[in-house]
Structure 1
């Protein structure tokens, strides 16, 4: 390993070979205890969410951004509670899904990406539509184990309350 004494080892400035995808799924709960799900054109139902930008964006900031971009619903980053990390492997790539929840007493979601989502729907927890997008099912099962969902297996790491704003 080479060392430049002014900057430290070059190992600290060279990015590792990419072998993972980092995303966030947002459970949006309304004042009636319903959750927001979108109907993807592939036929699955999913939570709002998406990739975390590689720009020093926090998980909570990514959750708020994705929610705004996909539904037009606006929440402050501080209102996002990141509660878990789920890890599975798809096609040889580590998929890391961060699970977040926000509570909105009311809200009318808009279809802002009609090429992806055909409709957003507030759904009672005892009436979840099928099939669910696997990462969304994993997040919902981590959020509310009593729902009895059986998503594909994922490693679950719970994040302690108050530690999720990083």
Structure 2
């Protein structure tokens, strides 16, 4: 008896065992070259961002959604430039953080999740506050390695964009 050619093999229909967490950190740069950082109640400073939904959400869509949910700033998915993938491991799980860049001419961020973030602040990249949340530090270092940001070791894969491949 032969297999039905329309039915995919069973291994294509079973989800793999979870071994990774996928997130996105959004570098929001204003017209003056400053970046947006939030002060988490734990004491660290972090970029807006979070988990990529396990739907069919793209990285750019997740970045736009997280930015809107966390700061009230609204950007179109097309305005999100995914620039790098950062990979490390924590607690035996691969952590994959996508670095996204958004440039805004203007905007006033709001604290929309006061149970997590106490304030949002525009900061000159050369004067970043400490301590930074590790994934945010890794993403900022992937974006601007010349800043010499201290962070846990991570693998970085830069993603060519129209802007940086020209």
TM bin, normalised by shorter chain, reads over 0.9
TM-score, reference length from structure 1? 0.94
Q: Distance in 2 between matches of 1:52 and 1:59?
A: 7
Following TM superposition, where does structure 1 have runs of at least 4 consecutive aligned residues deviating by more than 2 angstroms? 3-6
Q: Distance in 2 between matches of 1:34 and 1:146?
A: 16
Match of 2:44 in 1: 44
Asked if 2 retains the 8 angstrom alpha-carbon contact of 1:26 and 1:101, the reply is: yes
Q: Distance in 2 between matches of 1:82 and 1:121?
A: 22
**Cα deviation, residue 137, structure 1:** 0.3
**Cα deviation, residue 20, structure 1:** 0.4
Match of 2:64 in 1: 64
Q: How many residues align?
A: 162
1:72-98 superposed Cα distances (whole Å, 9 cap, x missing partner)? 000000000001000000000000000
**Cα deviation, residue 4, structure 1:** 4.7
Match of 1:75 in 2: 75
Q: Distance in 2 between matches of 1:159 and 1:91?
A: 27
Q: Distance in 2 between matches of 1:37 and 1:31?
A: 15
1:92-126 superposed Cα distances (whole Å, 9 cap, x missing partner)? 00000000000001110000000000000001112
Q: Distance in 1 between matches of 2:97 and 2:105?
A: 25
Q: In structure 1, list runs of 5 or more residues that go unmatched.
A: none
Match of 1:89 in 2: 89
Match of 1:11 in 2: 11
DSSP-derived class of the 2:139 partner: helix
Whether 2:13 is the aligned partner of 1:21: answer no
**Cα deviation, residue 63, structure 1:** 0.2
Whether 2:35 is the aligned partner of 1:35: answer yes
TM-score, reference length from structure 2? 0.94
RMSD over equivalenced CA pairs, Å: 1.4
1:31-69 superposed Cα distances (whole Å, 9 cap, x missing partner)? 000000000000000000000001100000000000000
